[in-house]
Chains A and B, each alone.
Chain A
């Protein structure tokens, strides 16, 4: 392939030729013709930009330094790109999508939950809900998906199944039922414990099921959320997903980070006629946003 600069120069020459045909009726419609004109003059299609300075995989996907990646076309289920997609890894908070799916499918979301002392025995990030307070399930679910608080995950799980242990069994059963058979879940929030793991492929299966759930779909796209505490105090929660906030076509889903898992992001995106889910696991702090953005953009317009 030609170096980008030479390619650009060729395009500039092509573009600077005087074009009389602006006034001709035939031209304007031809969005596709125009494209052919350009590609006829150019040696290669304009290279899709990638985070790693143009490096790409064989099928054109942008190369990343993430430990595991999977890009799926949501409608067909077709895998567009994968890298170490079956390697067992810690999923960190991305597994809250499974927690949310179970809670959302259990229904009665407008009913109240009373916070129990055990719910609050969680590591940061916490929302600091207090034992004895009441919240509607839907409000806790929104907070869970937007800000990822671990006390809220515990509260919803305990409320749903009676205990964290029983909820974990439900998580495993649900994952198996969806076909995500290479995972084992021990808690609802993804905090590190031995023998808890998933894979990029399994997380993609779970994310696809969550994406199909209208309640979850309408929450994961919220850039921010006002959470009203039982005391009446309100707090504005900013969505932790930075890709959601920068790309028009990103419509969710869930971030994750632990030391063992690295920086993780499941990102969904849509354009008319196409939906894509990207799973990025074990990336760097700065890399995760750029890699997920590049993979999402590529996934939406590849082919």
Chain B
């Protein structure tokens, strides 16, 4: 048994693809502690700095005092406690939808929802860069799975045409994200909705990285564009900007009732701890408040500040549409070296490589939080400008030589 995976692990190591856990000895925040060192953290999805916020801590502690820690049973048996009900009501109200359902994670929400919506007679069409949870859900549903190149409306259209022609009885489900997790860019939601209407398809939108960042009161990209009512299944997570843990689905009453009956990751799993539901409710109420909106503005000020600080990246870097700034380096080793140098200087900025992103598209994935100070961002910018000198010929050279713009 002990040797069973040695060879495979060895192969991973040989390609420098083996990944390891590292222990964080502090709460989440703009600074975290790793093996006794304090690093400024540009790697978390805690975009609003809520993960360790006293407001959420108090809500969780209050719920623990009253409800204890474990939920004891699955939601359908006897695990639905008052905090779960309150959270789903708060979610539905905040997102302006008839109903909402929460899951133990965003991953579970995606897998449970897709397997409940699609069967082997159906067709699921995904954006190539969709998150693993969406891909796994689509596969597990047994539906015919089609993938279109990232944000490529023409290819999506031809998949829809194909499905309509070849499998006219099938349910057609289009799956994409509003802000993509590794590229940080947005889906062309307006055009996607036109297409899904034209082909009478269901649109499932994962707002994981847009919640708390985009739209009035952080309600996401669909809300920002005023298109909420046209997205059939609004999926999201409580684990990122909301600072807690769990996933959710928002939509029609009948969609939610169906999921309660058929989403296996919901049905066959113990309800999440009531304290997490209470903390998530506090996070949603915070986002819906004026203070929450002020925090979101703070996040955007930090995003702008970083935009001003970073050395001009090559055009290929693409447009970020939220708090995730991909800084594309290309070469895998160069990305790793940059990340290591940054860590030596006190910044935690992850290098993302193949297979998470395409070969030759290695990058630093910088995530900004409202909890960052201006000074922390200025320091990162200074380090990036200095360390990336030479990466981008003319721009870098110009900066180095005179310091005077053209």
Contacts and interface: CB of A to CB of B under 8 A. Distances in A.
B209 to A, nearest CB: 12
A246 B405 contact: no
B304 A52 contact: no
A26 B54 contact: yes
A246 B304 CA distance: 12
B57 A25 contact: yes
Interface string B49-83: 10111110100000000000000000000000000
Contacts of A284: 406
B38 A53 contact: no
Contacts of A48: 305, 308
Interface string A39-55: 10010011111111111
Given A28-B54, A31-B371, A290 B405 contact: yes
Nearest to B313: A246
A294 B308 contact: yes
Which among B298, B319, B320, B346 has the greatest number of chain A C-beta atoms within 10 A? B319
B301 A301 contact: yes
Contact of B405 (A8, A28, A35, A52): A52
Contact of A245 (B29, B293, B309, B319): B319
B315 A246 contact: yes
Interface stretch (B122-130, B356-364, B375-383): B375-383
Given A31-B370, A248-B320, A272 B300 contact: yes
Contacts of A35: 373-374
Nearest to A36: B373
B148 to A, nearest CB: 14
A127 B395 CA distance: 31
Contacts of B406: 65, 283-287, 290
Interface residues of A, number: 64
A48 to B, nearest CB: 7
Interface in B343-357: 346
Contacts of B318: 245
B307 A249 contact: yes
B52 to A, nearest CB: 4
B163 interface: no
A277 to B, nearest CB: 15
A64 B406 CA distance: 8
A226 B317 contact: no
B300 A34 contact: no
Interface stretch (B102-110, B132-140, B262-270, B396-404): B396-404
Interface string A12-28: 10011011001101111
Contacts of B312: 246, 289-290, 293
Contacts of A247: 307, 319-320
Contacts of B315: 242, 245-246
9 contacts: A22-B26, A25-B54, A28-B53, A34-B371, A49-B385, A271-B297, A284-B406, A287-B406, A289-B312
Interface of A: 4, 8, 11-12, 15-16, 18-19, 22-23, 25-29, 31, 34-35, 38-39, 42, 45-55, 63-65, 218, 223, 226, 234, 242, 244-249, 269, 271-273, 283-287, 289-291, 293-294, 297-298, 300-301
Given A49-B381, A49-B385, A52-B403, 9 more contacts: A15-B31, A18-B38, A28-B371, A35-B374, A271-B300, A272-B293, A293-B308, A297-B307, A301-B305
